[in-house]
Amino acid sequence: MYSLLKDDIKTGCVIPSIVLAIFPTDKEDTEDFNVTNLLQIRTAGKNLLILDGLQRTYTIFDLLSEVQSDPEIYSKVKSLPLRIEVYSGISKVGVLYRMLTLNTGQNPMSTRHQVEMLYSDYKTGFDGLVFITEAQDRVPSGNNEFRFSDILDGFLSYITGDYLPIEREDLVNTIKNLETLTKDDKKKDLFKHLIKTYNSLREHLDSQSISWQFDDAISLKKRAFARSVNELFSKVQTMAGFGAALHFLIENELINDLGEINNLIPTILGHNIKDSLNIMITHLDDIQVSAKKIGNEQRMYFYYFIRSLFNKSNEGYLDVEKAVSQANKFYKANMLG
């Protein structure tokens, strides 16, 4: 297919437009990029992202290398007009929606890969949070460390409302709905906001439990899911359940937005948190013993835990002890139903 595209370019055929998005830095204003100075966009560098036309771009590069020895064809290829469309001033969630819709009908990168590319500027972390990449091949060890791949899973669960992996065609609809539901705008970074909210909950529970450590006197059938709050929150199951639960709460107008969650976190009751977390580990141990798909069912457990913790109509509202009990109750009811 791309050899045919090279032939078309050699003959001067107009190729489909290449679609870009630009994310100016905090010091730049998106209003600066207009018709009169559009060529300055080439200086944007790392702030540019190809939404559609990545393969066409590489095909042009390959062709230029191939025809360097033929000045006439080389000049013809270099002078080929390109139609460029540039999105500016839209959120990254909006860009993700466009990436998916622009590639419909093709065999593009996976949704996961596209999200990873879109948020790659955060792959080492931000605001004191450290993200560990797959290339580093180590487990999170510090208070503010998370695997970047797990963080992405949590974010995907937030924008889809599903703690399980979701199909690409379903993702388009859920992102479209989410943009309305969150009243998103170009100044709001949902990814950053979500992860900082998640970390705030981790910090609060760690503080209220006085750096809880699992009680080894408690008998388990399997290895403990986690032995500290930090380890508990470093797990992808916790992140995915958190993201999906917040989506549910926002979509059903049980909370307004992430800002409301941030305001609620400091008010979570601190009584019996150590005992409650020990009980949570026994619940997760039972899941390891009986579940057919352990990881998926653990995600479900955390989904119900977070839903109970921040739902005003639930008896677990802002009460870790009761939310743990409710999570186990709802999990078991779901498995029976």
* DSSP bridge partners of 269: 319
Say whether pLDDT at 213 is over 50.
yes
Q: Are residues 58 and 135 in the same domain?
A: no
What pLDDT score was predicted for residue 311?
97
- Which of the two residues, 87 and 222, has the higher pLDDT score? 222
Domain boundary among the residues 23, 56, 88 is at 88
- Which of the two residues, 34 and 200, has the higher pLDDT score? 200
What pLDDT score was predicted for residue 7?
82
Q: Are residues 82 and 96 in the same domain?
A: no
d(CA 324, CA 279) in angstroms, rounded, equals 8
Q: Are residues 174 and 61 in the same domain?
A: no
- Which of the two residues, 246 and 57, has the higher pLDDT score? 246
Grade residue 116 by pLDDT with cuts at 50, 70 and 90: low
Q: Do residues 131 and 146 lie in contact, with contact meaning Cβ atoms separated by under 8 Å?
A: yes
What pLDDT score was predicted for residue 186?
47
Q: Are residues 30 and 145 in the same domain?
A: no
Say whether pLDDT at 9 is over 90.
no
User: pTM of the prediction?
Assistant: 0.73
Per-residue pLDDT reduced to its tens digit, 159-203: 888 898 765 545 556 655 555 555 544 456 788 889 999 999 999
Domain boundary among the residues 55, 88, 121 is at 88
238 — phi, psi (to 5°)? -65, -45
d(CA 273, CA 209) in angstroms, rounded, equals 6
Q: Are residues 151 and 285 in the same domain?
A: yes
Say whether pLDDT at 111 is over 90.
no
Print the domain residue range for 69.
2-88
90-99, 251-260, 304-313 — which one is most confidently predicted on average?
304-313
Domain count along the chain? 2
Q: Do residues 221 and 285 lie in contact, with contact meaning Cβ atoms separated by under 8 Å?
A: yes
Q: Are residues 178 and 193 in the same domain?
A: yes
Domain boundary among the residues 88, 123, 157 is at 88
- Which of the two residues, 104 and 293, has the higher pLDDT score? 293
Amino acid at 172: V
